[in-house]
Amino acid sequence: MTIVHNDNETILGRNEINDIEAILAIPVGDPNEIEHIVKNNADSIFTWDYSLSRPALRKLYEKAKVGQWNGSTDLDWSIDVDVEKTVWQDSQILGSGFNPNSYAGTPVAKWGDKEWLEFGIQGRNWQLSQFLHGEQGALICTAKIVETVPWYDAKLYASTQVVDEARHVEVFARYLDEKLGGGYQVNSHLRLLLDDIINDSRWDMTYLGMQIMVEGLALAAFGFLHSMTQEPLLKQLLRYVMSDEARHVAFGVLSLKEVYDGMTDAEMKDRQEFAFEAAVRMRDRFMQQEVWERQGINMRDIMPIVINDPTREVFQTMLFSKIVPNCKKLGLLDRNDQWLRRRFEEMNVIQFEDWADTGDEYESFGLESEAMPVAGE
Protein backbone atom coordinates (compact mmCIF):
# COMPACT_ATOMS: atom_id res chain seq x y z
CA MET A 1 0.00 0.00 0.00
CA THR A 2 1.33 3.42 -0.98
CA ILE A 3 1.40 5.93 1.86
CA VAL A 4 0.25 9.42 0.85
CA HIS A 5 1.55 12.25 3.01
CA ASN A 6 -0.41 15.38 3.79
CA ASP A 7 0.57 18.55 1.95
CA ASN A 8 2.20 21.60 3.52
CA GLU A 9 -1.12 23.40 3.88
CA THR A 10 -2.46 20.59 6.03
CA ILE A 11 0.71 20.15 8.10
CA LEU A 12 1.88 23.76 8.45
CA GLY A 13 -1.15 25.85 7.58
CA ARG A 14 0.65 27.26 4.51
CA ASN A 15 1.79 25.93 1.14
CA GLU A 16 5.25 27.51 1.10
CA ILE A 17 7.55 27.20 4.11
CA ASN A 18 8.86 30.74 3.42
CA ASP A 19 5.41 32.36 3.16
CA ILE A 20 6.16 35.56 5.08
CA GLU A 21 2.55 36.60 5.61
CA ALA A 22 1.67 33.19 7.03
CA ILE A 23 4.65 33.25 9.38
CA LEU A 24 3.78 36.73 10.63
CA ALA A 25 0.09 35.85 10.95
CA ILE A 26 0.91 34.08 14.22
CA PRO A 27 0.78 36.97 16.68
CA VAL A 28 3.56 37.76 19.13
CA GLY A 29 2.67 36.54 22.63
CA ASP A 30 1.51 38.80 25.43
CA PRO A 31 4.61 39.77 27.45
CA ASN A 32 2.40 40.16 30.54
CA GLU A 33 0.97 36.62 30.39
CA ILE A 34 1.84 34.69 33.54
CA GLU A 35 -0.03 31.40 33.16
CA HIS A 36 -0.59 29.27 30.06
CA ILE A 37 -2.83 26.19 30.18
CA VAL A 38 -2.59 23.27 27.75
CA LYS A 39 -4.88 20.24 27.70
CA ASN A 40 -2.91 17.04 28.39
CA ASN A 41 -4.72 14.09 26.79
CA ALA A 42 -2.39 11.28 27.83
CA ASP A 43 -3.07 8.31 30.08
CA SER A 44 -0.84 7.63 33.08
CA ILE A 45 0.57 4.09 32.88
CA PHE A 46 1.69 1.88 35.76
CA THR A 47 3.96 -1.06 34.98
CA TRP A 48 4.37 -4.05 37.27
CA ASP A 49 7.29 -5.38 35.23
CA TYR A 50 10.41 -4.30 37.14
CA SER A 51 12.87 -6.38 35.14
CA LEU A 52 15.94 -4.60 33.79
CA SER A 53 15.23 -5.45 30.18
CA ARG A 54 16.79 -2.38 28.51
CA PRO A 55 20.47 -2.19 29.52
CA ALA A 56 21.16 0.90 27.38
CA LEU A 57 18.54 2.88 29.31
CA ARG A 58 19.84 1.52 32.63
CA LYS A 59 23.35 2.67 31.68
CA LEU A 60 21.93 6.12 30.94
CA TYR A 61 20.19 6.14 34.31
CA GLU A 62 23.44 5.29 36.11
CA LYS A 63 25.20 8.11 34.20
CA ALA A 64 22.49 10.54 35.26
CA LYS A 65 22.79 9.63 38.94
CA VAL A 66 26.49 10.46 39.05
CA GLY A 67 26.22 13.46 36.71
CA GLN A 68 24.16 15.71 39.00
CA TRP A 69 25.35 19.25 39.74
CA ASN A 70 24.08 22.15 41.80
CA GLY A 71 23.29 25.37 39.97
CA SER A 72 23.66 27.43 43.13
CA THR A 73 27.09 26.20 44.21
CA ASP A 74 28.81 24.81 41.08
CA LEU A 75 28.45 28.03 39.06
CA ASP A 76 30.31 31.19 40.04
CA TRP A 77 27.48 33.71 40.31
CA SER A 78 29.90 36.33 41.68
CA ILE A 79 31.20 36.93 38.14
CA ASP A 80 30.27 40.40 36.93
CA VAL A 81 28.81 40.23 33.42
CA ASP A 82 29.52 43.23 31.18
CA VAL A 83 26.80 42.62 28.61
CA GLU A 84 27.97 45.23 26.10
CA LYS A 85 31.56 43.95 26.18
CA THR A 86 30.44 40.33 25.98
CA VAL A 87 28.15 40.84 22.98
CA TRP A 88 30.76 42.97 21.20
CA GLN A 89 33.49 40.35 21.74
CA ASP A 90 31.23 37.54 20.58
CA SER A 91 30.22 39.51 17.47
CA GLN A 92 33.88 39.91 16.54
CA ILE A 93 34.23 36.13 16.48
CA LEU A 94 30.99 35.36 14.68
CA GLY A 95 29.98 38.58 13.02
CA SER A 96 26.68 40.18 13.95
CA GLY A 97 24.72 37.15 12.73
CA PHE A 98 23.38 39.38 9.98
CA ASN A 99 25.04 41.22 7.12
CA PRO A 100 24.16 44.92 7.58
CA ASN A 101 24.89 45.56 3.90
CA SER A 102 21.84 43.47 3.05
CA TYR A 103 19.52 46.04 4.61
CA ALA A 104 19.90 48.86 2.10
CA GLY A 105 16.55 50.54 1.54
CA THR A 106 15.08 49.29 4.81
CA PRO A 107 14.41 51.12 8.11
CA VAL A 108 17.71 49.79 9.54
CA ALA A 109 19.90 51.02 6.67
CA LYS A 110 21.03 53.99 8.77
CA TRP A 111 21.86 51.95 11.84
CA GLY A 112 25.37 52.45 13.13
CA ASP A 113 27.52 50.48 15.56
CA LYS A 114 25.43 51.65 18.53
CA GLU A 115 22.16 50.36 17.09
CA TRP A 116 23.65 47.06 15.95
CA LEU A 117 25.23 46.55 19.37
CA GLU A 118 21.87 47.13 21.04
CA PHE A 119 20.30 44.68 18.61
CA GLY A 120 22.98 42.15 19.60
CA ILE A 121 22.32 42.70 23.31
CA GLN A 122 18.59 42.28 22.83
CA GLY A 123 19.23 39.25 20.64
CA ARG A 124 21.31 37.60 23.37
CA ASN A 125 18.58 38.31 25.92
CA TRP A 126 15.95 36.91 23.55
CA GLN A 127 18.02 33.80 22.78
CA LEU A 128 18.56 32.91 26.42
CA SER A 129 14.89 33.63 27.15
CA GLN A 130 13.84 31.07 24.54
CA PHE A 131 16.31 28.60 26.05
CA LEU A 132 14.57 29.20 29.39
CA HIS A 133 11.07 28.68 28.00
CA GLY A 134 12.17 25.57 26.12
CA GLU A 135 13.65 24.15 29.32
CA GLN A 136 10.34 24.63 31.12
CA GLY A 137 8.68 22.84 28.21
CA ALA A 138 11.17 20.00 28.69
CA LEU A 139 10.43 19.94 32.42
CA ILE A 140 6.71 19.46 31.77
CA CYS A 141 7.19 17.00 28.91
CA THR A 142 9.60 14.81 30.85
CA ALA A 143 7.22 14.67 33.79
CA LYS A 144 4.65 13.49 31.25
CA ILE A 145 7.05 10.81 29.98
CA VAL A 146 7.42 9.48 33.55
CA GLU A 147 3.64 9.04 33.60
CA THR A 148 3.08 7.72 30.10
CA VAL A 149 6.03 5.57 29.00
CA PRO A 150 5.24 1.90 29.63
CA TRP A 151 8.83 0.81 30.42
CA TYR A 152 10.29 0.65 33.93
CA ASP A 153 13.84 1.62 32.88
CA ALA A 154 12.53 4.59 30.90
CA LYS A 155 10.48 5.83 33.86
CA LEU A 156 13.57 5.70 36.06
CA TYR A 157 15.70 7.68 33.63
CA ALA A 158 12.95 10.21 32.87
CA SER A 159 12.67 10.94 36.59
CA THR A 160 16.31 12.08 36.62
CA GLN A 161 15.65 14.30 33.64
CA VAL A 162 12.84 16.05 35.52
CA VAL A 163 15.44 17.08 38.11
CA ASP A 164 17.86 18.12 35.35
CA GLU A 165 15.24 20.29 33.65
CA ALA A 166 14.27 21.98 36.91
CA ARG A 167 17.95 22.87 37.35
CA HIS A 168 18.15 24.25 33.80
CA VAL A 169 15.08 26.43 34.31
CA GLU A 170 16.65 27.67 37.55
CA VAL A 171 20.02 28.68 36.08
CA PHE A 172 18.71 30.30 32.89
CA ALA A 173 16.09 32.26 34.85
CA ARG A 174 18.72 33.40 37.35
CA TYR A 175 21.19 34.44 34.65
CA LEU A 176 18.52 36.45 32.83
CA ASP A 177 17.32 38.11 36.02
CA GLU A 178 20.65 38.84 37.71
CA LYS A 179 22.96 39.42 34.74
CA LEU A 180 20.72 40.67 31.91
CA GLY A 181 17.95 42.41 33.83
CA GLY A 182 15.02 40.26 32.69
CA GLY A 183 13.91 38.38 29.61
CA TYR A 184 11.50 38.10 26.70
CA GLN A 185 8.15 36.37 26.48
CA VAL A 186 8.01 32.93 24.86
CA ASN A 187 8.19 33.06 21.07
CA SER A 188 4.82 32.22 19.54
CA HIS A 189 6.19 29.51 17.22
CA LEU A 190 7.94 27.79 20.13
CA ARG A 191 4.81 28.07 22.26
CA LEU A 192 2.65 26.43 19.58
CA LEU A 193 5.13 23.57 19.23
CA LEU A 194 5.25 22.99 22.99
CA ASP A 195 1.44 23.04 23.07
CA ASP A 196 1.28 20.35 20.37
CA ILE A 197 3.82 18.11 22.12
CA ILE A 198 1.99 18.29 25.44
CA ASN A 199 -1.46 17.95 23.87
CA ASP A 200 -0.71 14.74 21.93
CA SER A 201 -1.86 11.59 23.73
CA ARG A 202 0.84 9.30 22.28
CA TRP A 203 3.88 8.89 24.53
CA ASP A 204 6.33 8.44 21.68
CA MET A 205 5.25 11.80 20.23
CA THR A 206 6.31 13.45 23.48
CA TYR A 207 9.71 11.82 23.02
CA LEU A 208 9.93 12.80 19.35
CA GLY A 209 8.84 16.40 19.83
CA MET A 210 10.88 17.14 22.94
CA GLN A 211 13.83 14.73 23.17
CA ILE A 212 14.66 14.59 19.44
CA MET A 213 13.46 17.89 17.97
CA VAL A 214 13.44 20.61 20.66
CA GLU A 215 16.30 19.28 22.77
CA GLY A 216 18.28 18.21 19.71
CA LEU A 217 18.22 21.77 18.41
CA ALA A 218 18.97 23.11 21.89
CA LEU A 219 22.03 20.87 22.23
CA ALA A 220 23.44 22.21 18.97
CA ALA A 221 22.58 25.81 19.93
CA PHE A 222 24.20 25.43 23.36
CA GLY A 223 27.32 23.99 21.74
CA PHE A 224 27.50 26.80 19.21
CA LEU A 225 27.16 29.52 21.85
CA HIS A 226 29.53 27.73 24.25
CA SER A 227 32.25 27.59 21.60
CA MET A 228 31.79 31.26 20.69
CA THR A 229 31.16 33.24 23.86
CA GLN A 230 33.97 34.69 25.95
CA GLU A 231 31.71 35.36 28.95
CA PRO A 232 32.98 32.95 31.67
CA LEU A 233 29.75 32.46 33.65
CA LEU A 234 27.64 31.79 30.56
CA LYS A 235 30.32 29.47 29.18
CA GLN A 236 30.37 27.52 32.46
CA LEU A 237 26.57 27.41 32.66
CA LEU A 238 26.26 26.09 29.12
CA ARG A 239 28.95 23.46 29.73
CA TYR A 240 27.02 22.06 32.67
CA VAL A 241 23.67 22.15 30.86
CA MET A 242 25.13 20.40 27.81
CA SER A 243 26.37 17.53 29.96
CA ASP A 244 22.74 16.85 30.84
CA GLU A 245 21.25 17.71 27.48
CA ALA A 246 23.26 15.12 25.56
CA ARG A 247 21.90 12.37 27.85
CA HIS A 248 18.37 13.66 27.27
CA VAL A 249 18.65 13.49 23.49
CA ALA A 250 20.30 10.06 23.74
CA PHE A 251 17.34 8.95 25.88
CA GLY A 252 15.04 9.81 22.99
CA VAL A 253 17.20 8.08 20.39
CA LEU A 254 17.67 4.88 22.42
CA SER A 255 13.98 4.64 23.33
CA LEU A 256 12.44 5.48 19.96
CA LYS A 257 14.80 3.29 17.92
CA GLU A 258 13.19 0.20 19.44
CA VAL A 259 9.67 1.54 18.89
CA TYR A 260 10.05 2.91 15.37
CA ASP A 261 11.74 -0.21 14.04
CA GLY A 262 8.46 -2.01 14.68
CA MET A 263 6.04 0.60 13.35
CA THR A 264 4.03 0.36 10.15
CA ASP A 265 4.51 2.81 7.29
CA ALA A 266 1.22 4.49 8.17
CA GLU A 267 2.35 5.04 11.77
CA MET A 268 5.72 6.35 10.60
CA LYS A 269 3.96 8.80 8.27
CA ASP A 270 2.49 10.61 11.29
CA ARG A 271 5.91 10.79 12.96
CA GLN A 272 7.60 12.08 9.80
CA GLU A 273 5.02 14.82 9.38
CA PHE A 274 5.28 15.83 13.02
CA ALA A 275 9.09 16.01 12.78
CA PHE A 276 8.80 18.22 9.68
CA GLU A 277 6.26 20.51 11.33
CA ALA A 278 8.45 20.81 14.43
CA ALA A 279 11.52 21.59 12.31
CA VAL A 280 9.76 24.41 10.44
CA ARG A 281 8.33 25.92 13.62
CA MET A 282 11.73 25.93 15.28
CA ARG A 283 13.24 27.52 12.19
CA ASP A 284 10.52 30.20 12.17
CA ARG A 285 11.23 31.21 15.75
CA PHE A 286 14.80 32.16 14.86
CA MET A 287 13.50 35.15 12.88
CA GLN A 288 13.71 37.01 16.24
CA GLN A 289 10.45 38.81 15.58
CA GLU A 290 10.18 40.06 19.16
CA VAL A 291 13.64 41.64 19.02
CA TRP A 292 13.01 43.51 15.79
CA GLU A 293 9.71 44.83 17.06
CA ARG A 294 11.21 45.95 20.38
CA GLN A 295 13.71 47.91 18.29
CA GLY A 296 10.79 49.66 16.57
CA ILE A 297 11.04 47.77 13.28
CA ASN A 298 7.96 46.50 11.46
CA MET A 299 8.67 42.86 10.58
CA ARG A 300 6.99 43.20 7.19
CA ASP A 301 9.65 45.75 6.26
CA ILE A 302 12.55 43.53 7.25
CA MET A 303 11.34 39.92 6.97
CA PRO A 304 12.10 39.35 3.25
CA ILE A 305 15.75 40.18 3.92
CA VAL A 306 15.98 38.34 7.25
CA ILE A 307 14.58 35.12 5.81
CA ASN A 308 17.08 35.16 2.94
CA ASP A 309 20.15 36.49 4.76
CA PRO A 310 22.98 34.02 3.99
CA THR A 311 24.82 34.65 7.29
CA ARG A 312 21.71 33.89 9.32
CA GLU A 313 20.97 30.85 7.16
CA VAL A 314 24.37 29.29 7.87
CA PHE A 315 23.87 29.73 11.63
CA GLN A 316 20.32 28.44 11.46
CA THR A 317 21.11 25.31 9.46
CA MET A 318 23.90 24.43 11.90
CA LEU A 319 21.26 24.16 14.61
CA PHE A 320 19.91 21.06 12.85
CA SER A 321 23.24 19.27 13.14
CA LYS A 322 21.88 17.03 15.91
CA ILE A 323 18.31 16.64 14.65
CA VAL A 324 19.09 15.29 11.18
CA PRO A 325 21.47 12.42 12.14
CA ASN A 326 19.15 11.43 14.99
CA CYS A 327 16.17 11.32 12.63
CA LYS A 328 18.25 9.15 10.30
CA LYS A 329 19.15 6.79 13.16
CA LEU A 330 15.44 6.42 13.92
CA GLY A 331 14.56 5.58 10.30
CA LEU A 332 12.51 8.74 9.85
CA LEU A 333 14.47 10.10 6.89
CA ASP A 334 14.00 7.24 4.47
CA ARG A 335 10.76 5.47 5.31
CA ASN A 336 7.82 6.09 2.98
CA ASP A 337 9.82 6.90 -0.15
CA GLN A 338 12.27 9.20 1.70
CA TRP A 339 9.58 11.79 2.41
CA LEU A 340 11.31 13.48 5.37
CA ARG A 341 14.67 13.40 3.57
CA ARG A 342 13.14 15.47 0.76
CA ARG A 343 11.66 17.94 3.25
CA PHE A 344 15.04 18.38 4.95
CA GLU A 345 16.62 18.85 1.51
CA GLU A 346 14.17 21.70 0.90
CA MET A 347 15.18 23.21 4.24
CA ASN A 348 18.88 22.87 3.29
CA VAL A 349 19.81 20.80 6.35
CA ILE A 350 20.24 17.30 4.91
CA GLN A 351 24.04 17.73 4.81
CA PHE A 352 24.20 16.75 8.49
CA GLU A 353 22.75 13.25 8.00
CA ASP A 354 26.09 11.45 8.44
CA TRP A 355 27.25 13.40 11.49
CA ALA A 356 27.37 11.50 14.79
CA ASP A 357 24.01 10.65 16.32
CA THR A 358 23.58 11.49 19.98
CA GLY A 359 22.87 7.90 20.96
CA ASP A 360 26.51 7.13 20.11
CA GLU A 361 28.25 10.32 21.27
CA TYR A 362 26.47 11.38 24.47
CA GLU A 363 29.23 10.12 26.80
CA SER A 364 31.71 12.58 25.27
CA PHE A 365 29.62 15.44 26.70
CA GLY A 366 30.09 14.28 30.30
CA LEU A 367 31.58 16.71 32.80
CA GLU A 368 34.58 14.43 33.19
CA SER A 369 35.39 14.81 29.48
CA GLU A 370 37.71 17.61 28.39
CA ALA A 371 37.24 16.85 24.70
CA MET A 372 33.55 17.69 24.52
CA PRO A 373 32.27 18.07 20.91
CA VAL A 374 30.48 21.28 20.02
CA ALA A 375 27.81 22.19 17.48
CA GLY A 376 27.87 18.76 15.86
CA GLU A 377 31.55 18.01 15.46
Residue range 10-37, pLDDT digits in tens: 999 999 999 989 999 998 888 889 999 9
Distance (Å, whole) CA 316 – CA 300:
20
Query: Is there a domain that residue 1 lies in?
Result: no
Residue 367 has pLDDT above 80, yes or no: yes
Query: Is there a domain that residue 8 lies in?
Result: no
Distance (Å, whole) CA 330 – CA 254:
9
Average pLDDT over residues 338-344: 97
C-alpha 3, offset from chain centre:
29
pLDDT of res. 107: 87
Q: CB neighbours of 57 closer than 8 A, spacing ≥ 6? A: 151, 153, 154, 156, 157, 251, 254, 255
3-state secondary structure of 354: coil
Q: Count, in order, helices (H) and strands (E) of the chain.
A: 17, 0
DSSP string, 18-44: T-HHHHHTSPPPPTT---------PPP
pLDDT of res. 95: 55
Determine the structural domain holding residue 158 and report its residue range. 89-98+107-365
Question: What is the CATH number for 223?
Answer: 1.20.1260.10
DSSP string, 215-240: HHHHHHHHHHHHHH---HHHHHHHHH
Query: Is there a domain that residue 305 lies in?
Result: yes
Query: Is there a domain that residue 264 lies in?
Result: yes
Q: How many domains does the chain have?
A: 1
Q: Mean of the per-residue pLDDT values for the chain?
A: 92
Query: Is there a domain that residue 287 lies in?
Result: yes
Bigger pLDDT: 263 vs 92: 263
Residue range 36-51, pLDDT digits in tens: 999 999 999 999 999 9
Distance (Å, whole) CA 358 – CA 362:
5
Average pLDDT over residues 344-349: 94
Query: Is there a domain that residue 218 lies in?
Result: yes
Residue range 119-153, pLDDT digits in tens: 999 999 999 999 999 999 999 999 999 999 999 99
Residue range 205-264, pLDDT digits in tens: 999 999 999 999 999 999 999 999 999 999 999 999 999 999 999 999 999 999 999 999
Q: How many CB atoms are closer than 10 A to CB 27?
A: 8
Query: Is there a domain that residue 327 lies in?
Result: yes
Residue 68 has pLDDT above 60, yes or no: yes
Residue range 252-311, pLDDT digits in tens: 999 999 999 999 999 999 999 999 999 999 999 888 999 999 999 999 888 888 887 777
Residue 2 has pLDDT above 90, yes or no: no
Query: Is there a domain that residue 40 lies in?
Result: no
pLDDT of res. 374: 46
Question: Cα 34–38–43 angle (5° rounding)?
Answer: 140
Distance (Å, whole) CA 252 – CA 205:
10
- Nearest CA-CA partner of 152 in 45, 50, 44, 259: 50
255: buried, middle or exposed (CB in 10 Å: 19+, 13-18, 0-12)? buried
Lowest model confidence (mean pLDDT) among 53-67, 90-104, 160-174, 215-229: 90-104
pLDDT band at 375 (very low <50, low <70, confident <90, very high): very low
pLDDT of res. 376: 41
pLDDT band at 98 (very low <50, low <70, confident <90, very high): low
pLDDT of res. 154: 97
